[in-house]
Structure 1
Amino acid sequence: MYSIKQVVEMLDIPSVTLRAWENRYKAVTPERTESGYRLYSQDNIEDLRWLKNQTEQQGISISHAVRLLKARKEKELKESVSSISGSPQDAFEKMKRQIYNTLYEFQGERANALIDFGFSLYGYDSMFHQVLIPVLIEVGTAWEEGTATVAQEHYMTHMISNRIYQFFHVFPVYSQLPKVLAFCPAGEQHQVGLLLFSLFLRKNGVEVVYLGANTPEEGILSMLEQQHSIRVICLSVTDKGLIPYCEGLIQRLKEAFPGMECIAGGKGYEASPDSAGPDFVMNEPSEHWQVWFDNVFTGLKSRA
């Protein structure tokens, strides 16, 4: 990733021109740091170099050049996806590989275009379960094995997590269903399963307050003190070693908030199926979640 200063020096394009191309013509969309500074990918660099060539060497206006660039990239994307053939599983695997490779190389715009096209082809359920979640799992494994850098792991996780977050506000909320607080406890960094399960709850009309990974206990207590409408806690743990802490946390939360229901899941609980803390241990495969939801949340709704 490159700063705007580096891009200016590399391409000999004034920073004011770069900003105009981005803001007025949407030529490229760089990433942003937490402080708001632009970060350009190699893909952005190549696009800007091509645009400069079109405007300076070919005499084309920047607005026309941007239209040509977008048309060219759309054509390349369609040709790339049209090459996917074979069984549905083969198609998912090839789509996953293409998205993984583009994200691995920090080509965010191309990856988002592939994801959008995948949603249009397969729908969001299949894309999440068959493509995007496997990408997240693969990059996590690559990071643990040292074949992906911390920057690549963070970038890919951030990009795909944002696509999942976007769907949280698509589905209507049914007020008669209990409100859920979803989090991973302190020390748990992996939130993929929690994200997916929270999205499933939202699809079924449940309002989910999502806190994400590595949530400190005091933050949970503070949230519950402010949000009296929350009646269900959902936590996810991949590390079996965190189960004893989770058992104590659940007990403390139930003592502080009588009547609170608790759902737990994740690989940690799969390895500890006899855990006595949660009211429900969610270890069913995702295709069985709907049956589980209909049974459990119908009961919670009747006690509202």
Structure 2
Amino acid sequence: MYSIKQVVEMLDIPSVTLRAWENRYQAVVPERTESGYRLYNQENIEDLRWLKEQTDKQGISISHAVRMLKQHKQKDLDERLSVAGGDPKDALDKMRQQIYAALLDIQGERADALIDFGFSLYGYEAMVHQVLVPVLVKVGDAWEQGTATVAQEHYMTHMISNRLSQFFHVFPVYAHLHKVLAFCPAGEHHQVGLLLFSLFLRRNGVEVIYLGANTPEDGVMELLEKQERIGAVCLSVTNGTLVPYTEELLERLGSLYPEMQLIVGGRAYEAISLQDTNATYVMAEPPEKWQAWFDQEYATIRHRA
């Protein structure tokens, strides 16, 4: 792993340029220490070296060079998937099955090893959205159908949630974007959907204050009074009996903070339209459409004072 100072010296890229490439174009996504310092791996170094060559020697703009790099990496991923399992979809399906089986048998070390291998081979996007999220859905279905016990469901969900939460410290935070406060209201214990949406926001540079499941209202209000630059509150509700309380909470939040976006989602809100809620937005879109929502809707709060 390399510090930003080492990368600047190694590649002769000014630090201000390096940060601009990351913040504006997501050229690379370095890891972060607990103190927030960037750490670059060897793949980051090779990507930056290639981008510098394209901009310096070929005269290509950085935005175009980044697009070329991502297309090349996607093609390379497809080829590696084909080698690993014949057809890319078959390879990912096999990975899902192996991770699910390991977790169902409470084989934590094997599951962790498979997940580590998957991230190294397939990358973040494929592993999260095409492997781990479907595994979580399968876990929930198995519990509902009685083929997995409550203990197994809790264990499997906890294992995957822990792996996903590690990425909160990886993605950079962009100062021009307002913070988002994310939590499940009191009585709601299922937070997987909230975690996934919060990770999506973090990947887009949003600082997320993540409170998780079963959050008491008084703690939320106290935090909102003390924190600055919170532009949105995001709630996730799967238990339909909690909708009346959630609506009362949304009404109080809207009265106290009329300029704040109130985003609500989760299974309990799948059949509730925006006209029937006190929220300003019902997140009913599937994950593959979240980016379009972010680009269109979140822009309305990123510049608020």
TM-score with structure 1 setting the length: 0.69
Question: Offset at 1:89?
Answer: 2.3
**CA 1:86 to 1:187, structure 2 compared with 1: closer, same or farther past 3 Å?**
farther
Partner of 2:199: 199
Asked if 1 retains the 8 angstrom alpha-carbon contact of 2:178 and 2:302, the reply is yes
Partner of 2:277: 276
1:59-70 to structure 2, matched below 5 A, reads none
Asked if 2 retains the 8 angstrom alpha-carbon contact of 1:133 and 1:192, the reply is no
Partner of 2:247: 247
Q: Does 1:297 align with 2:295?
A: no
Partner of 1:11: none
Runs of at least 5 residues in structure 2 that lack an aligned partner in the other structure = 1-80
Q: What is the DSSP-based 3-state SS (H/G/I as helix, E as strand, rest coil) of the residue aligned with 1:182?
A: strand
Which piece of structure 1 moves more, 107-116 or 148-157? 148-157
Q: Does 1:104 align with 2:104?
A: yes
Moved over 3 A (4+): 81-84
Q: Does 1:210 align with 2:210?
A: yes
Partner of 1:24: none
Asked if 2 retains the 8 angstrom alpha-carbon contact of 1:240 and 1:271, the reply is no
**CA 1:187 to 1:86, structure 2 compared with 1: closer, same or farther past 3 Å?**
farther
Q: State the number of aligned residues.
A: 224
* Separation (CA, whole Å) in 2 of partners of 1:213 and 1:247: 17
Q: One-letter code of the match for 1:160?
A: I
Percent identity of paired positions between Structure 1 and Structure 2:
63
Asked if 2 retains the 8 angstrom alpha-carbon contact of 1:231 and 1:260, the reply is yes
Partner of 1:46: none
1:247-300 deviation line (CA, Å, top 9, x unaligned): 111111122334221111122222112433111111122122111111122221
* Separation (CA, whole Å) in 1 of partners of 2:129 and 2:187: 25
1:1-16 to structure 2, matched below 5 A, reads none
Q: What is the DSSP-based 3-state SS (H/G/I as helix, E as strand, rest coil) of the residue aligned with 1:188?
A: coil
* Separation (CA, whole Å) in 2 of partners of 1:287 and 1:144: 25
Partner of 1:93: 93
Question: Offset at 1:214?
Answer: 1.9
Question: Offset at 1:235?
Answer: 0.8
Partner of 2:162: 162
Q: What is the DSSP-based 3-state SS (H/G/I as helix, E as strand, rest coil) of the residue aligned with 1:301?
A: coil
Partner of 1:153: 153
Asked if 2 retains the 8 angstrom alpha-carbon contact of 1:177 and 1:297, the reply is no
Question: Offset at 1:82?
Answer: 10
1:91-113 deviation line (CA, Å, top 9, x unaligned): 22211110011111221111111
Partner of 1:178: 178
1:122-141 to structure 2, matched below 5 A, reads 122-141=122-141
Asked if 1 retains the 8 angstrom alpha-carbon contact of 2:176 and 2:303, the reply is no
Partner of 1:119: 119
Q: One-letter code of the match for 2:148?
A: A
1:141-189 deviation line (CA, Å, top 9, x unaligned): 2223332223222221111111111101111101111100111112222
Q: What is the DSSP-based 3-state SS (H/G/I as helix, E as strand, rest coil) of the residue aligned with 2:262?
A: strand
1:53-80 deviation line (CA, Å, top 9, x unaligned): xxxxxxxxxxxxxxxxxxxxxxxxxxxx
Which piece of structure 1 moves more, 279-288 or 220-229? 220-229
Higher relative contact order (CA 8 A, sep 6+): 2
* Separation (CA, whole Å) in 2 of partners of 1:292 and 1:82: 32
* Separation (CA, whole Å) in 2 of partners of 1:296 and 1:136: 28
Q: One-letter code of the match for 2:304?
A: R
Q: What is the DSSP-based 3-state SS (H/G/I as helix, E as strand, rest coil) of the residue aligned with 1:302?
A: coil
- Supply the RMSD in Å over aligned alpha carbons: 2.0
Runs of at least 5 residues in structure 1 that lack an aligned partner in the other structure = 1-80
Asked if 2 retains the 8 angstrom alpha-carbon contact of 1:240 and 1:272, the reply is no
* Separation (CA, whole Å) in 2 of partners of 1:302 and 1:229: 10
Partner of 2:4: none
